Amino acid sequence: MVNNAGIAGNEGPFHEISIEKWQRTQDINLTGTFLGMKHVIPNMLDNGGGSIVNIPSIAGLTGGSGASSYTASKGAVRLLTKATAIDYSKNNIRVNSVHPGYIETPMTSL
């Protein structure tokens, strides 16, 4: 399973980010990944194993200007990946993350 869905966009100064913008970013980028894994893992347990790939970002490793909500959500996905990888390694379920650099896509043009 690949957890790919995400949103970004220029957020402006951190102290001007609305709670709605902050929450929407966490809901899609972080909670979306949580829900995807939560609902696929039971099937992988039944099948004797599986592989999950999450898509945080280089921003989740280094931070990024004008992207505090995005950076926080992606850093959290990175460590959520590590935590679940440890928990389910005994069940033959691999959980990994990839951290792309900047690429022009529909998401980055919003």
Ligand X SMILES: NC(=O)c1ccc[n+]([C@@H]2O[C@H](COP(=O)([O-])OP(=O)(O)OC[C@H]3O[C@@H](n4cnc5c(N)ncnc54)[C@H](O)[C@@H]3O)[C@@H](O)[C@H]2O)c1
**In whole angstroms, what is the distance from residue 69 CA to residue 17 CA?**
8
Q: In the annotation, is 70 catalytic?
A: yes
Q: How far is the CB of 38 from ligand X (least distance, A)?
A: 15
Gap between the Cα atoms of 41 and 74, Å rounded? 21
Of the candidates 29, 44, 57, 70, the residue annotated as catalytic is: 70
Binders of ligand X among 73-92, rule CB under 6 A? none
| Count, residues near ligand X per rule CB under 6 A | 15
Closest CB to ligand X among residues 14, 102? 102
Q: Is 1 in the site for ligand X (CB under 6 A)?
A: no
> Could you give the CA distance from residue 60 to residue 79 in angstroms, rounded to a whole number?
10
